[in-house]
Amino acid sequence: MGQATLFLLVLSLALGVHGLSAQKSPLFQCILAGDWQNDLGSNMTIYHVYEKGSFVGSYSTSVADDPSKIQTSPLLGFQHLTDPIGQPTFGFTVNWTFSEATSVFTGQCFVDENGEEVLKTMWLFRRKENTSLDNWKGT
Ligand SMILES: *[C@@H]1O[C@H](CO)[C@@H](O)[C@H](O)[C@H]1NC(C)=O
Ligand SMILES: *[C@@H]1O[C@H](CO)[C@@H](O)[C@H](O)[C@H]1NC(C)=O
Ligand SMILES: *[C@@H]1O[C@H](CO)[C@@H](O)[C@H](O)[C@H]1NC(C)=O
């Protein structure tokens, strides 16, 4: 189990506008859609959050047993929509396309004291083991 904190990259005009609203409204909503980066240089893009809170995106990790094999991998998740302070909890699964491993993340989208959006997450990584006797070391 690991911890990851992802910060919003203010790359596009749309994200910049979100950043400006953050300073105006204490009830600013933390929006998952966008480009995120963690402190190890992994990147995540949430393409779209659908009406009922499901979302799709991709994860480009900077860490792997064999970094030369890394490929951007798809993710699918859900966020809550009813949180009254606009800082929703969420979870998603990453389907690593360059290995037979799967990761799950859960966390919360916060607007921090500087008005910046930040994702505080915990994750589990599951690799494939050959037999159930090896299960103990797979996660
Ligand atoms: C993450 O994005 C940055 C900035 O675009 C890029 O320099 C870096 O190589 C990316 N890292 C990964 C693991 O894709
Ligand atoms: C999940 O990853 C596997 C490769 O490990 C790939 O064949 C499959 O198409 C991926 N599924 C989706 C929905 O991207
Ligand atoms: C699983 O079996 C394959 C084929 O025998 C082997 O190459 C691989 O190293 C094994 N994986 C683990 C985690 O022991």
pLDDT at residue 126 in the model: 96
pLDDT at residue 18 in the model: 34
- Distance, CA 7 to ligand 1 centroid (Å)? 13
Residues 13-26: tens digit of each pLDDT = 333 333 333 333 45
pLDDT under 70 in the chain at which residues? Answer: 1, 9-27, 83
Q: What is the CATH number of the domain that holds 115?
A: 2.40.128.30
Q: Residue written as tokens 């300073």?
A: 23
Give domain status of residue 15, yes or no: no
pLDDT at residue 27 in the model: 60
Give domain status of residue 122, yes or no: yes
> Does ligand 3 lie within 6 Å of residue 68's CB atom?
no
- Distance in angstroms (rounded) separating the CA atoms of residues 17 and 118: 16
Give domain status of residue 29, yes or no: no
Give domain status of residue 41, yes or no: yes
- List residues near ligand 2 (CB under 6 A): 74, 95, 97
For a pocket test of ligand 1, which of 15, 40, 60 has the largest count of ligand atoms closer than 8 A to its C-beta?
60
Give domain status of residue 28, yes or no: no
Give domain status of residue 12, yes or no: no
Give domain status of residue 25, yes or no: no
User: In this structure, are residues 103 and 123 in contact, taking their beta carbons and an 8 Å threshold?
Assistant: yes
> Does ligand 3 lie within 6 Å of residue 130's CB atom?
yes
pTM listed for this prediction: 0.82
State how many domains the chain has.
1
pLDDT at residue 67 in the model: 82
Domain limits for position 62? 35-137
pLDDT at residue 82 in the model: 75
Give domain status of residue 60, yes or no: yes
pLDDT at residue 72 in the model: 94
* DSSP code string of 85-102: TS--EEEEEEE-TTSS-E
